[in-house]
A and B are shown apart, each in its own frame.
Chain A
Amino acid sequence: NAGVTQTPKFRVLKTGQSMTLLCAQDMNHEYMYWYRQDPGMGLRLIHYSVGEGTTAKGEVPDGYNVSRLKKQNFLLGLESAAPSQTSVYFCASSYSRPGELFFGEGSRLTVL
């Protein structure tokens, strides 16, 4: 069972470059989320989606954009990467709330 799949798993960028992280889930979940994890700060919500075609801002949305054109996919974009965006990014999905969150394995991004 695939569950939640994130690509790529590792990426190194230079300041100012752009990139997109892809999250795909095969569980037909309505809700999808992007979190970033930094040492000592736990997980912070970047953006989330409550259904296909909808997105909303979380705690730390600045510098990121998202799209949910298909129910199974949730894309996180960085238009102009900054060193402060060096982090591990996790995608999660849930069928409903307060449902269990299912997490991907993470994408480690380094911005030089």
Chain B
Amino acid sequence: AQSVTQLDSQVPVFEEAPVELRCNYSSSVSVYLFWYVQYPNQGLQLLLKYLSGSTLVKGINGFEAEFNKSQTSFHLRKPSVHISDTAEYFCAVTNSGGYQKVTFGTGTKLQVIP
């Protein structure tokens, strides 16, 4: 079975500052990793995904994440945040073999301060 840990439940950051949202996963087999964003009163939408290949993945809205197999991490980064980035961010994992469900982390609320 796989699991995801998002240690930071809330991250406040000033506008135009860089941000990193942390995600660590646990799995005994190869994984696929995802970051989703949820704006207030909306469903989740995909920011980016890692399936294979380059460990640095770029997504929408200037976000990127780096897959680190040795540290079992998939941290999300943005060099300069905007007010509109205020949302909740979810890391998710699924095993690469067979059919496996997608497991979500508990989420990190990013609050961008003007």
Verify A58–B43 contact, CB threshold 8 A.
Answer: no
Q: Is A2 an interface residue (CB 8 A)?
A: no
**Does A75 sit at the interface, judged by CB under 8 A?**
no
Is the beta-carbon distance between A105 and B43 smaller than 8 angstroms? Answer: yes
Q: Are A98 and B104 in contact (CB under 8 A)?
A: no
CB pair A42 B106 closer than 8 Å: yes
Question: Are B101 and A4 interface neighbours, CB within 8 A?
Answer: no
Chain B residues closer than 8 Å to A42, beta-carbon distance: 6, 90, 104-107
If over half of B's interface residues share one DSSP class (helix, strand or loop), that class is named, otherwise mixed; here it is loop
Chain A residues contacting B90 (CB-CB under 8 Å) are 42-43
Partner pick for A103 among B34, B44, B49, B100, CB 8 A cutoff = B44
B94 CB–A CB distance under 8 Å = yes
Residues of B within 8 A of A104 (CB): 43
45-86 of chain A: CB within 8 A of chain B: 45, 48, 50, 58-59
- Inter-subunit contact B46/A101 (CB<8 Å): yes
Residues in chain A near residue B103, CB distance under 8 A: 45
Considering residues B43, B51, B101, B105, which has the most beta carbons from chain A within 10 angstroms of its beta carbon?
B43
Which positions in B face A, CB cutoff 8 Å?
A: 6, 9, 32, 34, 36, 41-46, 49, 51, 90, 94, 96, 99-107
Chain A to chain B contacts (Cβ below 8 Å), 7 pairs: A33-B101, A33-B102, A40-B9, A98-B94, A98-B96, A101-B36, A105-B41
